[in-house]
Amino acid sequence: MLIRDVLKQLKADGQLSFSCEFFPPKSPEGEATLWSTIEKLQPFSPSFVSVTYGAGGTTQDVSLGVTQKIVHDTGMPTLAHLTCVGASRAELSVIVDKFAEAGIENILALRGDPTNGPGTPWVTAEGGFTYAIELVEMLSERGGFSIGVAVFPEGHPESSSLDQDARVLADKQRAGADFAVTNLFFSAQHYFAMVERAAAFGCDMPILPGLMPVTNYNQIARFATLSGAEFPVELAEKFEAIKDDSEAVINLGIESTTELAQELIAGGAPGIHLYTLNRSRSTRDIFTNLGVNA
């Protein structure tokens, strides 16, 4: 099912989109965890689920395999992430054909992080793309997919200004994108300001806030370095006070993400996308708190 149709129907019915992200497992144990998580989340009837795409051939094959299995075994609308890393236009075209043959109808068109990690210079593959918008154009010309794109409420780390990101997002919509999913963030004001900036450049497609509940105290320090997302000091202090109690950390992660989601929904967000890290507990509790029933 095309996600653009899912989102249109939800809007027409006055409903919100609730979705979640998984990553391709790297071991048999990881695979078992993922499928057990999917089994526990499927009863919530997510509006769609997404599967990330890693650098390197094996991870890419696992991404395709997992996405295809979700499509076939669960029938849930499924969004396959795809990046431009290390691939020429012709190679991307072959991958896209494989996605289509596997029954995948939705692609999150991304540039991907530089091969040496975030913060290092981006190197365009020979005959490849420099920006995600070129992949959006290619998918749009090919047809048959609903296309999603990424957006960074606090600015992409390589971007010269927040306005540049907003202009790029609006251009992606004009190039054929149907919806956007945000990078993780922890303050609703970043999301609202970004939506307003993008609207000023003509972007009116649904922008789904991507939220990651804290499940482990050590994640907090990594958020800023890995994704540039600012973690509010007051919230960090609350986590600091309970950091040795892993159960309390998970519960505070659920509570704070629920509150953030409620604020976003009250302010007009079209739904919530949860980064699950392939675990179901926090996602299930947040969905339940938001009135999404299994």
Residues designated as active site? 21
Q: Are 282 and 20 in contact (CB under 8 A)?
A: no
CA–CA gap between residue 132 and residue 155 (Å, rounded): 15
Which of the ranges 130-138, 215-223, 259-267, 286-294 carries the binding residues for ligand FAD, by CB under 6 A?
A: 130-138
Q: Cβ 237 to ligand FAD, closest distance in Å? A: 27
Among 16, 132, 194, 292, binds ligand FAD (CB under 6 A): 132
Q: Cβ 210 to ligand FAD, closest distance in Å? A: 5
Which of the ranges 39-47, 69-77, 163-171, 228-236 carries the binding residues for ligand FAD, by CB under 6 A?
A: 163-171
Does 150 participate in binding ligand FAD (rule CB under 6 A)? yes
Give the CA distances from residue 27 to residues 96, 123, 195, 240, 266, in Å, rounded to whole numbers and listed in that order.
Answer: 25, 30, 38, 32, 40
* Of 172 and 279, CB closest to ligand FAD: 172
* Of 181 and 290, CB closest to ligand FAD: 181
Binders in 96-125 for ligand FAD, by CB under 6 A: 110-113
CA–CA gap between residue 93 and residue 91 (Å, rounded): 5
List b or e across 250-261, with b for residues whose CB sees 16 or more CB atoms inside 10 angstroms. Answer: bebbbebbbebb
Give the CA distances from residue 111 to residues 53, 83, 150, 175, 276, in Å, rounded to whole numbers and listed in that order.
Answer: 11, 5, 9, 15, 22
Residue 45 region, left (φ>0) first, then alpha (ψ -120 to 50), else beta?
A: left
Q: Cβ 151 to ligand FAD, closest distance in Å? A: 7
- Measuring CA to CA, which residue among 77, 32, 28 is closest to residue 50? 77
Alpha-carbon torsion 270, 99, 212, 247, what sign? positive
| String of contacts with ligand FAD for each residue 48-67, x by CB under 6 A | ----xx--------------
Would you call 216 helix, strand, or coil by DSSP? coil
Among 4, 81, 197, 279, binds ligand FAD (CB under 6 A): 81
* Of 210 and 213, CB closest to ligand FAD: 210
Q: Cβ 241 to ligand FAD, closest distance in Å? A: 30
Pairing mode, strands 271-275 and 210-211 = parallel
Does 44 participate in binding ligand FAD (rule CB under 6 A)? no
Binders in 165-224 for ligand FAD, by CB under 6 A: 165, 168, 181, 183, 210
Among 11, 156, 238, 281, binds ligand FAD (CB under 6 A): 156
Q: Cβ 136 to ligand FAD, closest distance in Å? A: 9
Which of the ranges 2-10, 161-169, 240-248, 278-286 carries the binding residues for ligand FAD, by CB under 6 A?
A: 161-169
CA–CA gap between residue 262 and residue 279 (Å, rounded): 22
CA–CA gap between residue 7 and residue 156 (Å, rounded): 25
Binding site for ligand FAD (CB under 6 A): 52-53, 81, 83, 110-113, 131-133, 150, 156, 158-159, 164-165, 168, 181, 183, 210
